[in-house]
Amino acid sequence: MSGTLNKVMLIGHLGDEVKMHYFEGGGCIGRFPIATNETYTNKTTGERVTNTDWHNIVVRNKAAEICEKYLSKGDKVYVEGRLKTRQWQGEDGNTRYSTEVQVQDFTFLSTKKESQANAAQTQKPVQPEATGSAGVEKASTAEQEDDLPF
Amino acid sequence: MSGTLNKVMLIGHLGDEVKMHYFEGGGCIGRFPIATNETYTNKTTGERVTNTDWHNIVVRNKAAEICEKYLSKGDKVYVEGRLKTRQWQGEDGNTRYSTEVQVQDFTFLSTKKESQANAAQTQKPVQPEATGSAGVEKASTAEQEDDLPF
Amino acid sequence: MSGTLNKVMLIGHLGDEVKMHYFEGGGCIGRFPIATNETYTNKTTGERVTNTDWHNIVVRNKAAEICEKYLSKGDKVYVEGRLKTRQWQGEDGNTRYSTEVQVQDFTFLSTKKESQANAAQTQKPVQPEATGSAGVEKASTAEQEDDLPF
Amino acid sequence: MSGTLNKVMLIGHLGDEVKMHYFEGGGCIGRFPIATNETYTNKTTGERVTNTDWHNIVVRNKAAEICEKYLSKGDKVYVEGRLKTRQWQGEDGNTRYSTEVQVQDFTFLSTKKESQANAAQTQKPVQPEATGSAGVEKASTAEQEDDLPF
DNA sequence: TTTT
DNA sequence: TTTT
Alpha-carbon distance B8 to B104, whole Å? 10
Least confident of A111-120, B80-89, D90-99, D127-136: D127-136
The answer for residues whose C-beta is within 8 angstroms of residue C94's C-beta and 6 or more apart is none
Is the per-residue pLDDT at C135 higher than 50? no
Q: Which chain A residue is nearest to residue D133, measuring alpha carbons?
A: A63
> Who among residues 57-96 of C has its Cβ near strand E, under 7 Å?
73-74, 76
**Number of other CB atoms surrounding residue D150 within 10 Å:** 11
CB within 8 Å: A78 and D129: no
Is the per-residue pLDDT at A142 higher than 50? no
Task: Report the relative pairing of strands B28-41 and D19-22 from DSSP bridges.
Answer: unpaired
| Mean pLDDT along residues A9-37 | 97
Q: Which chain D residue is nearest to residue C63, measuring alpha carbons?
A: D141
Enter the pTM of the model: 0.83
**Gap from C128 CA to E1 C1', Å:** 21
- Could you give all domains of chain B from N- to C-terminal order, each with its CATH number? 8-111 (2.40.50.140)
Nearest by Cα to D74 from D119, D14, D12, D19 = D14
What is the residue-level pLDDT of chain B in tens, covering all 150 positions?
479 999 999 999 999 999 999 999 999 999 999 999 999 888 888 899 999 999 999 999 999 999 999 999 999 999 999 999 998 888 888 888 999 999 999 999 988 877 776 665 543 333 333 333 332 333 222 233 333 333
pLDDT bin (cut points 50, 70, 90) of residue C104 is very high
Q: What is the pLDDT of residue A118?
A: 63
Instruction: Output DSSP code: residue D17.
Output: P
Question: Alpha carbon of A17 to those of A34, A62, D33, D53, D92: distances in Å?
Answer: 10, 17, 35, 33, 60
Alpha-carbon distance C8 to C81, whole Å? 5
| Mean pLDDT along residues D89-118 | 86
**Gap from C48 CA to E3 C1', Å:** 16
